[in-house]
Structure 1
Amino acid sequence: MFDTAIRRRDLFRGGLAVTAASYSRVLGANDRLGLGVIGCGGRGRGDMRIFMKQTGVQVVAVCDVYGEMVDGAQQMAPGARAFTDHRKLLELKEVDIVLIATPDHWHAQTAIDALNAGKDVYVEKPLTLRIEEGPEIVKAARVNERICQVGMQQRSGRHYIQAKQEYIDTGRLGKVTLARTWWHGNQAHLRRAPERLRQKPSNLDWARFLGPVKWRDWDPQQYWNWRAYLDFGGGQITDLFTHWIDVVHMFLGQDIPVSAVAAGGVYVYKDGRTAPDTINVLLEYPNDLTATFEATLAPGLRGAAVEFVGTQGRLWIDRSRFEFQSAEKGAQPVVVKAPSPDMTVEHIANFLECVRSRKLPNADVLIGHRSAQASHLGNIAYLQKRRVRFDPVREEILPL
């Protein structure tokens, strides 16, 4: 039970004793931060590149199970030490902060190990692969007084903040009863393993990649397109819906559903994947709110956005702009474009600022847990083919 791991009032307390005075490595604005990168694939190296552009950050170590990925990271940071086991990287005293960009099934253990080692952590979303993993990561962050930011970059996006302030906080949208979200045609879930991976490369540690997952012989697709397999990730629900349901939580201040239903399946890409290529989820929240997610990989539809429907209008938002449409007859839509195409820059900057100030970051670990938890409820409902009821106080799935 979440409440027995840590008292909820302590989790919500702004400072939570994470102060500069209690910080074992007190850092000034000009001190160098040593970065360790765990997971050096495309997303990991992309985040790493942004970290390297920030003042006072130096990549001192990189880690991946595949030598080719390590080589790519070391080309970017020639002086960085290389590892295949993240635990060895965490032993380095010169590592102050850690970027975790592994496949989802490694997020929980790697984050807990890093937090217990006294490192501040930036972990890509979703925070967890399983719903029960979240409270343990939150506990590790709080007990060790570490900063932990989850990669839900909309929390730092200026046009997201602006839309919330102007249309939600002021009440201009009225009472919001429906939040619609969708993400169609995401190509990251359709990756085909290159020919060079037909045979397992000698510098790829397959057993280490599997980690906590039960053994299976080398499968290039499961390695290369791991998002399509529920042993390694939560499919489109946790990979995509986690971003959008976090926007709903951010805007409306409700972050614990009371029920979930879902339907879908592998309707198009019958290539051995276990995550559905078409999925619909509906979450119900306590205060007269439902939130939906719709996604398909079928080629006929593309696009991703969130739409809030209120009694006085609707608010549509994606990563490039937001649009407000008043319910008044004849009203013209208000369109505001995003000032920055990549909110990850602001999100990483916020993390580094909080590492130095010891304030909770925009997407603190508890926020990341709650958004992943909502997504997990959708997956559980899909897999169990039933309406899942959830206790919002104890944060537990209720029995049938």
Structure 2
Amino acid sequence: MILKTTMRQLKSILQITISSLVILISSSSLLQSQNVRLGIDVLMSDEISIVQNKQIALFTNQSGINVKGVPTAEILSKDSRVDLRKIFVPEHGYYTTIPAGEPVANDSIFGTPIVSLYGSLKIPNKKVLTDIDAVVVDIQDIGVRSYTYISSLLYLIQGCAENNVEVIVLDRPNPLGGLVVDGNLPENKFKSFVSLVPTTYIHGCTIGELAMMINGELWTENKKQCNVTVVTMEGWERWMAWDDTGLMWIPTSPHVPTANSVRGIATLGTIGELGVISIGIGTTSPFGYIGSPFLKLDNMRVDYEGIYLQHTYYRPFYGMYSGKDVEGYYLKFNLSNHLKPYTTGLLILRELVKNNPTLLSDNNLKSQSKDMFNKVTGTDKILNAIRTNLPEEMIVTLASEGMIDFLKIRQKYLLY
């Protein structure tokens, strides 16, 4: 009887201890998210004077929100202290619903005109900047060079420099964290809108740091500078991935609905350009799968730093292999500041080619797909190396060309 009573008491104590730990962990996570204040939050509470008495334009989309989830476009349009004249939007439009590559039309929201910077106009000109003193930037980048928001940022800085307009960046976290840097620098002959900013493929910078770098290093085509001000975050540290911030994620484009899909696009985005392998587009986890009904997957390496390939079958609702069961892998990510998503993706591709020698043959690979892969990677050396089955060490070397030079430049502009 005494033993039973003691066991019940121990069980109760254990349940109370576990409950206390859960509460403590939840409180810690909540406290951490409350401690991360975005640029827009700092602007409205502490730095509003830098936009007062100025005619303002805003470069944003629905991903530009404060910590409570209120869109920056709404905040600025309704605040009597701010004279918001127009809103600039990039690829995918304000609500990020327009598919990749499709032009974005002009529109309006919150009573403010929307001017597209992804159509016939990509560089803001005198006509759209004539009544503007400063352009405020609040948009969620994903930390990947080929994601075109930073290309639009470069063109925005170029247009503002040409027309003597100030740029004010409301800073936001890099969802991959500020310590993960991976990839080669793009070669000049492969420069395009998906490799316009000459960083490594994974740059490890916030959008504010990139704006300062673009301006400071004269990366614009006109080699002119403008006045760039960054309203820095409070509470964000470089080791933090998005999951560590406690902030809500708003889809930044149609196939980036979650923070996990950011890690996916950083790993598989280049492979998707080849058009011969499914990367989960058309599933509920875009960039979360890789596979094909026609691949041999014997002896595939599945374990990488921060990434594990879990063998599975999946069925896309649209896109490649729509309605078919596809054998492949689900990408399981572990939070790691040692993650090398770009290089890992290339090594996964090499494994697939090693098991399927004709995968990237001229018969399978369209010229346009080959060109696009070379544009996003910024070189033709990597594709040639993978197609000719060069050693893994060679792929790793090619995938890091120019990184040391970039890290030296990057160091000058780090704000956190």
Higher relative contact order (CA 8 A, sep 6+): 1
The structure with the greater share of residues assigned to strand is: 1
Compute the TM-score of the two structures, normalised by the length of structure 2. 0.33
Compute the TM-score of the two structures, normalised by the length of structure 1. 0.34
Largest Rg, 1 or 2: 2
